[in-house]
Amino acid sequence: MAPFENITEDGFSLLQQILEHPNTTQGDFFFTEPTVDGQIKILETAGLVRANSEHKLYVTELGRAAIKHHLHEQQQLTLVQQQRQQELESLQTIAESAKKQAELAAAQAENAEKEAKIARRDARFAKVVSVLAIAIPILWDVLKPYLPIISQQISELLSAN
């Protein structure tokens, strides 16, 4: 385990501040974290900062490495979060596409049902027409000898009026 693995985010912020602006650390009011003095003690114990003979703090090479390591970890974490966000967006896109496909399939099923009803109705009509197509010639042949008689009776009825 690296000596800086136990340093908190506030500790790294303080280390970065010491590196960028030596001897300008502000007091803090964090009650869940050690105070600035406590953080400095933790950083000194880890070998990340040292005080020179004038009691001015400076960041050691290990401290610089710790900052680089921390920044690298933060970048990696950001990349992982971005990748997860992209994966989530991809999954949402896939889900939306699947939903649209399901809606389209439902609409197609409704259309197929309507078309099936129409086809059944058309089939019934076709049966009736085919029966009539068979029956009419048969009836014609059967009634053909009686047509002159039927015609004469119709004429008589019309002339009686």
CA distances from 134 to 19, 34, 50, 145 (A): 105, 103, 112, 19
| 3-state class (DSSP) for residue 58 | strand
Express as a percent the part of the chain with pLDDT over 70: 84
Alpha carbon separation from 160 to 104, 148, 150, 154 (Å, rounded): 70, 18, 15, 10
Choice between 46 and 89, residue whose per-residue pLDDT is larger: 89
For the ranges 42-46, 96-100, 115-119, which has the lowest average pLDDT?
42-46
**Distant-in-sequence, close-in-space partners of 11: CB < 8 Å, separation ≥ 6:** 39, 42, 43
Q: Which amino acid is at 29?
A: F
Would you place residue 35 in the very low, low, confident or very high pLDDT band (cuts 50, 70, 90)?
low
Q: pLDDT digits over 130-155, tens only?
A: 999 999 999 888 888 888 888 898 89
Q: Which residue has the higher pLDDT, 125 or 51?
A: 125
**Does residue 122 lie within any of the structural domains?**
no
pLDDT of residue 106: 96
Say what the pLDDT of residue 62 is.
85
In a domain, 114, yes or no: no
Residue 36 has pLDDT above 50, yes or no: yes
Q: What are phi and psi of 128, to 5 degrees?
A: -60, -45
Please, which residues bridge with residue 48 across strands? none
Query: Does some domain include residue 140?
Result: no
90 domain residue, yes or no = no
Neighbours of 48 (CB within 10 A): 27
Query: For residue 149, what are its two tokens?
Result: 């008689």
Residue 96 covered by a domain: no
Q: What is the pLDDT of residue 28?
A: 47
Residue 100: what are its φ and ψ, rounded to 5°? -65, -40
Task: Identify whether 43 is part of a domain.
Answer: yes
Does residue 31 register a pLDDT over 50?
Answer: no
How many domains does the chain contain in total? 1
Containing structural domain, residue 46: 9-80
In a domain, 62, yes or no: yes
Q: How many CB atoms lie within 10 A of CB 11?
A: 22
Share of the chain above pLDDT 90, in %: 40
Q: Is 67 within a domain?
A: yes
